[in-house]
Structure 1
């Protein structure tokens, strides 16, 4: 297989492995074709008002300040005197879109939908808004349109402010909420002179939705414990009071309005959300008005979080719900059909109605969930051979009929408690059944992917052994054997295709199940290589073989553990610090090895630093900028003495411009932080400098000399300028320490070369990337090259987790992008944060490129070893993926697999980028003087 074909095949295989996890674990749970279910009795409310205070934590609303007064006195009065309250438990990811979908549609959207769009509705789902007679909503352009576009008919109306209003650097983000309250009031005032609108507002089954984004924006900008966040809660409380009073007046105090106040997610102390910390998953829920229970006095109640005493609410019954339960509660209060895709259970304790109404509502809820189960079961039954189909036994057709008959009989006999109990059992069973059929093919698909994984890794190992070692002899297999092998695998492929075809499986199943066939065919074609390798390994001393295998397993386990415990990287780096002593390298180069040990120890500090929960430390960023300037100044001074490095004035100009970029970046970070602190917004000059630096950082290295150290240093300076702009604290020092270690690593590998008796050891001072060619013929692979590849993977993982944990959305800090933009833009902000993660990646990749070419080894051979290590890690994480436990555990296990798979694909791309950055040079046009003769 040629190199281009191999690379293309590798990218394709890894892309399939990566995408497969979304098909297996992140496929949409939605089903369609259910019959709407509605409670037959008249509802208690004609209209419902839903307030969603985006980013509001439960403790921030319920806690009392030092004077024992509430931040929200009106809402506190409601839960103490006229309504019911509790905590709404959200699921991961704790982001705005999934939170609102759970609240309004009653189901937990699959994580992949977040990436499909915020304003658009990527999948058709039913919602309370869709089932209403009319819905009017006010608020953010990121949330409201997706429910309007998902609605059937023209009865969901939205009023949004502009996207530019969502500015984290704004002087007062609570204006977003004031805008909503003001527009709701003017809307109702205008209806008095608009008879059509006035009549519509007086209809039954009306929903008013007020999305309040100010608290979330202030939380991101100033943290939830800030004065701004708490003051915003007070303003929301006043606004809710005004709206409730205005509506009661508008409707003549008819007592037919129900109110719900809740939040889509909470927020951590450091101003982020997305993961499973209690501060993110515990959100407030206060319900009052028509059909809602009054406060229930209790003598004692117990909850694991022990918040009640702190909030001084231990004598008022706390009614906790799952976030999806709020949708059926809203549907029940105004008498609309329960959302078709809802998986919520109606929280009866919130209802103030007859036992008959409660029993009928629960029965409606049970039938609505059962409808989804039946559709899901029939879909799976239709695409599975009858003799292979295994039904969900606890809810067979006869069991379903039995449940429904018994419940209906209990209601007729007025045994309402028994009916409610039976309905809850039925709902739980139906939800279990939905999960069962949703994951029905998971084992089958998982085994297919695992077989493909093992086959591909085996094939790469065989390629390494065959082309880059002396362990095997070339043996040509006979044409007869090749033909038999080809026909055998073709027959297997045809059988798999036929099996999938008669079951009418999705087209993606064909890819997952057929991929192992060509992969294992390629492996079996190299059977002679396996036989030769086995014979050679058998001849080695057992202690040597076992020792090598043991070290390899321990090394890979350390890498795997680092995904769960960042401190593992510290242990690994401290072991690296002692590597020269173990290998006697310290005898050859004491100064270099001493610097190596110091830098390893310094880098080992970063994984021990906090990822989240830290305040910005701008002086550290400034210090990192000044230190970079100092080092670049020293480099410039020393380079002036060496003609080999800077041969003309153009190179000097590039270096000066890079130093200027560093100085400007340092200034911009400091000035932007002060400007935002004084609530003066992001200065336009700073924004222009930031984006200019970002663009120029990708071009400037290509203008520098292609000698090894000048080119690598130029790459560091350019990327460091951008990294400073994206830093808020100690992480600004990380690229400097990492790059220092990379420079020393290149020297160390040079010293290690003499173990092979190589006389052609290049001098690093004059080594030129531009003239480095693929010199495979100089030597084959040694065991030490596996160590080099392991170092590279370890440094890549260190670059990944050294200052953060990208596997958790929780480590996202919006302050990192404030030099570029403060207006909320999830994809632009996400792109900048990914760039921040990529920069250390590029530094390590460029250093590895230097190691490859200076150790007289082809880039392909070392990279293939890297690929094997990465794939073994990925297979490890594939088996660690789980679909049980908390949603955080499930999400983390999947994100680890996705990360390692992305890492493998990313390293293939990084290899190409590193070659471009190190070997290519853009020549600036020079003027030539023409003298007249």
Structure 2
């Protein structure tokens, strides 16, 4: 099998494995065809006003400031004198769309919505807005339209500001909330001269929704502990006070208006959200008005978070709810049918009504949830063979989802079998499985999961020689050496596994790497290189000990990284000019000068941009243009450089650093520089190690040419040192993965990283730039490994087999680690979904990076060059 086919096959297999986990655990929770359920008794309120302060943390609203006064005096007075309060517990992902869906529709959205940036509706769903007689909403164009598009008929109206207004670099994002308050006031004033609108506003079952995005935007731009964030809370408090007073006056203080203030999610101290930190999942809930209980005095109450004493609210009963519980609460207050897909439980303690009304509401809530179960059970019964269908009686994983998980486990274990008889037996079993799935009208993905072992088997068989080479080398050792080799291998892989849980494990590994030359002959052969290797290993070991998230921007460190890159470039360029490399010419040197200029320009743009944002002057247009130009031009300049090893690696560093600097906000700007230094020394050290095989070393790295590299496996066989090289490669890849942050966590991203390119909220664009930042260290390691393959004269195909073997062991240890917390494989799988996704994604990413590294090291763009004319 050719290498490209092998890579594509491996990529396909891992992609299927990655997709399967979402198919198993993240399928849509929605079902359709239920009968709407509505409380038969008259509701306490005719209308509901919903305030959602986007990105507002519970502690930021409830806690007192340094002077002992509340940040939101009006809302504080409400919860102390007029209404009920508590904490709304959100679920991951703590993003705006899932939060609003839980609030207004009552269910926790599946991850399929992320493919549309959580802006559009991947599936239609019911909501309180849809069940209302009329709903008017004001706020962000990212949130409001999805509830209007999902509504039946023409009774949900939206008023949105322009998307460009959501600018993290704006002078004051509180203007977004002021826009909402002003337009609500104008709306009610205009209704007095519009009989149709006035009549509609006086109907029953009316909802008014005010989406307030300013707090979230200020939190992203300035962080929740900033003056801007806290001042915005005060402005929201004043705006809510004015709107509540205006609405009460508009309706003649008829006492038929219910008010709810809450948030879709919180925010970390470093200005991000998306994961499950308490600062993100604990949001405020204050309810007052028609049908709502007054504050309940208590002598004592206990919560594990111990916030009550800090907030000075220990004597007022705190009523916590799940975020999805707010939807049935709103439906009960105004008497509309509970949203069809709601899974929320009505928090009856918030209601100030008769026991009869509470009982009827609870019964309606239960019947509405039961309707979903009945529809789901009928759907399952229709697609399952009668003799296999068992009614749900206890909490177990059942049905086809269980079957998919078992199939995927079978795939992963089967691919490492050796017997050809087993292969043919599986082929027969595959036909039976196809028939079994066909008669049950299963989705097409099920066929892939069950039949995937067939092509995988061929790939494994063709790679058996690699394993045989390794076995031959191990068996040639003495018993003690063999045992030692196995123990060291297990320990090495265990360090990789621990790094997925504790980043400090990378520090331990790098410190062990630092003494590698000392325990070998390399310290004697190349003392200078060995000393530099040790120093760089120690320096790189510092980064995993640095904070993952929560760090404050440190632009001087970014500037220092840029200047250090230029300094190193000057020395490298001087060395290149003095070299006797006959392939050097002036045209090539110009490329390096352009790249150095890009690094200098990037350093300036970062400094200038963040100074401008700090002064609330926004993102300078010229800086934005320059940033995008550098992003586009850097890869082109890279491909214009010569393909000789030293020159191409030097060019790769300059091009990638110019981009990385633009995406940095602190110490992480130094990380790729130290990482690249270690990678370059690694290439030199591996060349020194060649004498262990009796091979002559080539004189200088400058004469290695990536384009001339050939598959010369026939010149030497696999050696145990090649296992070490493969492990080094995997370890450095993991270091690139976790070196400066935990990219498995959504909230570890700092939005300020993309401010040189854009400040207006754009999830796909921002996400793409952040992924580019993550990929750059990967590219550096992958290109260095390509150089190692050239200098050590070993087939790249054999190395691919080696690091894939290491990843097999890594996945194995990830699963075994979770077995401590569960009794069965399937239970451990459900506990380690994030780790499984991480490993599969990392493997896929490595394959992609391998191909990209080959492109960046071997390809060169040709430009017309001036021809020298010689006189005769």
Q: TM-score, normalised by structure 2?
A: 0.95
Q: Is the 8 A contact 1:693 1:721 kept in 2?
A: yes
Give the direction of change, closer, same or farther, for the CA distance of 1:784–1:390 in structure 2 (3 Å limit): farther
- Helix, strand or coil for the counterpart of 1:564? coil
Alpha-carbon distance between aligned partners in 1 of 2:592 and 2:657, rounded to the nearest angstrom: 13
* Residue 453 (structure 1) aligns with: 412
- Helix, strand or coil for the counterpart of 2:438? helix
Alpha-carbon distance between aligned partners in 1 of 2:680 and 2:462, rounded to the nearest angstrom: 42
* Residue 572 (structure 2) aligns with: 635
Alpha-carbon distance between aligned partners in 2 of 1:194 and 1:578, rounded to the nearest angstrom: 82
Q: Is the 8 A contact 2:783 2:854 kept in 1?
A: yes
How much does 1:685 deviate?
A: 1.0
Where does 1:523-602 land on structure 2 (aligned, <5 Å)?
A: 541-602=478-539
Alpha-carbon distance between aligned partners in 1 of 2:755 and 2:468, rounded to the nearest angstrom: 59
* Residue 624 (structure 1) aligns with: 561
How much does 1:870 deviate?
A: 2.1
Alpha-carbon distance between aligned partners in 1 of 2:129 and 2:316, rounded to the nearest angstrom: 31
How much does 1:277 deviate?
A: 1.2
Alpha-carbon distance between aligned partners in 1 of 2:103 and 2:414, rounded to the nearest angstrom: 45
Unmatched segments (≥5 aa) in structure 1: 395-431, 463-480
How much does 1:560 deviate?
A: 1.4
Counting matched residue pairs gives: 867
String of CA shifts for 1:701-747, please: whole Å, max 9, x gaps.
Answer: 11112111111011001100110111111001001100000010001
Give the direction of change, closer, same or farther, for the CA distance of 1:526–1:633 in structure 2 (3 Å limit): closer
Alpha-carbon distance between aligned partners in 1 of 2:472 and 2:649, rounded to the nearest angstrom: 44
Counterpart pick for 2:837 among 898, 903, 912:
898
- Helix, strand or coil for the counterpart of 1:393? coil
Give the direction of change, closer, same or farther, for the CA distance of 1:700–1:881 in structure 2 (3 Å limit): farther
* Residue 668 (structure 1) aligns with: 605
Residue 725 (1) aligns with residue 662 (2)? yes
Where does 1:335-414 land on structure 2 (aligned, <5 Å)?
A: 335-393=335-393
* Residue 30 (structure 1) aligns with: 30
- Helix, strand or coil for the counterpart of 1:210? strand
- Cα RMSD of the aligned pairs, angstroms, is 2.5
Residue 444 (1) aligns with residue 383 (2)? no
Deviates further, 859-868 or 375-384: 375-384
Residue 791 (1) aligns with residue 728 (2)? yes
Residue 80 (1) aligns with residue 19 (2)? no
* Residue 842 (structure 1) aligns with: 779
String of CA shifts for 1:474-504, please: whole Å, max 9, x gaps.
Answer: xxxxxxx97x777544321111111212222
- Helix, strand or coil for the counterpart of 1:269? coil
Give the direction of change, closer, same or farther, for the CA distance of 1:534–1:448 in structure 2 (3 Å limit): farther
How much does 1:539 deviate?
A: 7.7
How much does 1:764 deviate?
A: 1.4
Deviates further, 783-792 or 757-766: 757-766
* Residue 751 (structure 2) aligns with: 814
Q: Is the 8 A contact 1:16 1:512 kept in 2?
A: yes
- Helix, strand or coil for the counterpart of 1:765? helix
How much does 1:80 deviate?
A: 0.8
- Helix, strand or coil for the counterpart of 1:120? coil
Unmatched segments (≥5 aa) in structure 2: 823-827
How much does 1:784 deviate?
A: 1.3
Give the direction of change, closer, same or farther, for the CA distance of 1:732–1:760 in structure 2 (3 Å limit): closer
How much does 1:901 deviate?
A: 1.1
Q: Is the 8 A contact 2:754 2:766 kept in 1?
A: yes
Give the direction of change, closer, same or farther, for the CA distance of 1:635–1:139 in structure 2 (3 Å limit): same
- Helix, strand or coil for the counterpart of 2:135? strand
How much does 1:896 deviate?
A: 2.4
String of CA shifts for 1:203-260, please: whole Å, max 9, x gaps.
Answer: 1111111100000000111111111111100100111011111111111111111000
String of CA shifts for 1:383-425, please: whole Å, max 9, x gaps.
Answer: 223333332225xxxxxxxxxxxxxxxxxxxxxxxxxxxxxxx
- Helix, strand or coil for the counterpart of 2:726? helix
- Helix, strand or coil for the counterpart of 1:249? helix
* Residue 108 (structure 2) aligns with: 108
* Residue 48 (structure 1) aligns with: 48
Q: Is the 8 A contact 1:690 1:820 kept in 2?
A: yes
How much does 1:518 deviate?
A: 4.2
* Residue 414 (structure 1) aligns with: none
Q: TM-score, normalised by structure 1?
A: 0.89
Q: Is the 8 A contact 2:219 2:267 kept in 1?
A: yes
* Residue 910 (structure 1) aligns with: 849
- Helix, strand or coil for the counterpart of 2:388? coil
String of CA shifts for 1:365-387, please: whole Å, max 9, x gaps.
Answer: 11111111122222222222333
Give the direction of change, closer, same or farther, for the CA distance of 1:645–1:89 in structure 2 (3 Å limit): farther
Q: Is the 8 A contact 2:706 2:857 kept in 1?
A: yes
Give the direction of change, closer, same or farther, for the CA distance of 1:650–1:892 in structure 2 (3 Å limit): farther
How much does 1:754 deviate?
A: 1.0
Counterpart pick for 2:862 among 923, 929, 932:
923
Residue 709 (1) aligns with residue 659 (2)? no
Give the direction of change, closer, same or farther, for the CA distance of 1:6–1:770 in structure 2 (3 Å limit): closer
* Residue 253 (structure 1) aligns with: 253
* Residue 124 (structure 2) aligns with: 124
Alpha-carbon distance between aligned partners in 2 of 1:188 and 1:882, rounded to the nearest angstrom: 61
How much does 1:541 deviate?
A: 4.5
How much does 1:778 deviate?
A: 1.3
* Residue 772 (structure 1) aligns with: 709
Q: Is the 8 A contact 1:85 1:287 kept in 2?
A: yes
Residue 751 (1) aligns with residue 688 (2)? yes
* Residue 874 (structure 1) aligns with: 811
